[in-house]
Amino acid sequence: MALLAGELARNDVFGEYYKTRLAEVGRKGSQLVTQNRLIGNYKGCIGYKFCSGDNEEIMLCTASKQRDMVVCAILLGGRDKDTIFDDVKSVMDYTFTHNEIYYPEIPPEALEDIAVEHGQELTSSAEITDSKNIIIERGTYRQIYNSFTREEKLTAPVNKGDRIGELTFYNDKGEILRCTVTAAEDVKEMDMLFVFKCLLYNLFNI
């Protein structure tokens, strides 16, 4: 349920549907009313589902977006409606109060062009495609540091996406994020035809 709620939050295709408290249906003014009491009553609530089963257990799956962070909360097997909503609100209040999103700062040195031997280009540009924002304790971003390793040079042929290094972020508790530095473009291997073309170009541009 947590994974499903997270994906729904990332892909807000049905956002307005989930946040609707009351809907008119049919031709006689019939109404559908959500049982999720947090919709419209909790800051930033973006909806989802409240339901009960045959064994009288109840379940709440909900989420809230405040500032740039979405918190999903799921409670399974509750017995009392008032308690389940109060518990979920407490969980989300605590999470928003004590946590924030950290946007990793990529050091420029990690993305510098890298030399390529025997290639039709002298260098290849670098990129990081698997970096992501992470949740940290509020106010601890100054404690985060990083380290990276890179190959000194590559040998052609080079394919876009080839691994050329690694960038890792740490805080006082250890590693919190690891990213891969990759080649951002293809570099073909130098062949005789390419060498011949280069010779002709240099000859006629002396």
In the beta sheet, which residues pair with residue 177?
169
Q: How confident is the model at residue 26 (pLDDT cuts 50, 70, 90)?
A: confident
CA 78, CA 91: separation in Å to the nearest integer? 15
| Domain at 186, CATH number | 2.60.410.10
Report percent pLDDT > 70 for the chain: 93
112 and 84 housed in the same domain: no
At residue 206, the 3 state secondary structure works out as coil
What is the extent of the structural domain holding 25?
2-100
pLDDT of residue 13: 81
- Tens-place pLDDT, residues 38-86: 998 999 999 898 888 777 788 999 999 998 899 999 998 887 888 999 9
Residue 110: how many CB atoms within 10 A of its CB? 20
- Tens of pLDDT, residues 148-178: 999 999 999 999 999 999 999 999 999 999 9
Residue 199: per-residue pLDDT: 61
Q: Is the dihedral of CA 86, 92, 93, 95 positive or negative?
A: positive
CA angle 136/142/145 to nearest 5° reads 85
Give yes or no: residues 8 and 31 share one domain.
Answer: yes
**Domain end residue (candidates: 100, 122, 141):** 100
What is the count of structural domains for the chain? 2
- pLDDT at residue 131 tops 90: yes
Confidence category of residue 142, pLDDT binned at 50, 70, 90: very high
Higher local confidence (pLDDT), 96 or 192: 96
